[in-house]
């Protein structure tokens, strides 16, 4: 399910201001950066080939951070959450 507005959009718009005005912990800054980079060219990509029809598609890599809503949505879809 795609939302018209993602958390990455919010971080992109307000992340610098938040970093300047609040004392963020290094982990919080790291998570914000991962959310910004998730599924973009920054993290590279990979090729997927369908076992049935052989069709090929290229996808950007995920950040894998547990705080990232994109990664958590994927884990839920595949039943990987506890």
Residues that bind Zn ion (CB under 5 A): 38, 62-63, 68, 70-71
Residue 70 Cβ, how far from Zn ion at the closest point, in Å? 4
Torsion of CA 82, 38, 18, 7, to 10 degrees: -70
Quick one: which of 75, 7, 82 has its CA closest to 38? 7
Minimum separation from the CB atom of position 22 to Zn ion (A): 22
Our measurement of the distance from residue 7's CA atom to the centroid of its chain's CA atoms, rounded to an integer in Å, reads 9
Considering the complex, state which of residue 1 and residue 50 has its C-beta at the smaller distance from Zn ion. Answer: 1
Residue 32 or 68: the one with the smaller Cβ distance to Zn ion is 68
Token pair 């018209």 in the structure block, residue: 4
C-beta of 18 vs 75, nearer to Zn ion: 75
Q: How far is the CB of 23 from Zn ion (least distance, A)?
A: 25
């Amino acid at each position: 399910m795609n939302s018209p507005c993602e958390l990455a959009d919010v971080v992109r718009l307000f992340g610098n201001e938040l970093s300047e005005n609040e004392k963020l912990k290094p982990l919080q800054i790291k998570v914000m950066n991962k959310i910004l980079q998730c599924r973009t060219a920054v993290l590279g990509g990979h090729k997927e080939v369908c076992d049935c029809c052989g069709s090929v598609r290229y996808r950007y890599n995920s950040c894998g951070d547990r705080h990232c809503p994109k990664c958590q949505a994927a884990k839920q879809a595949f039943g990987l959450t506890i």
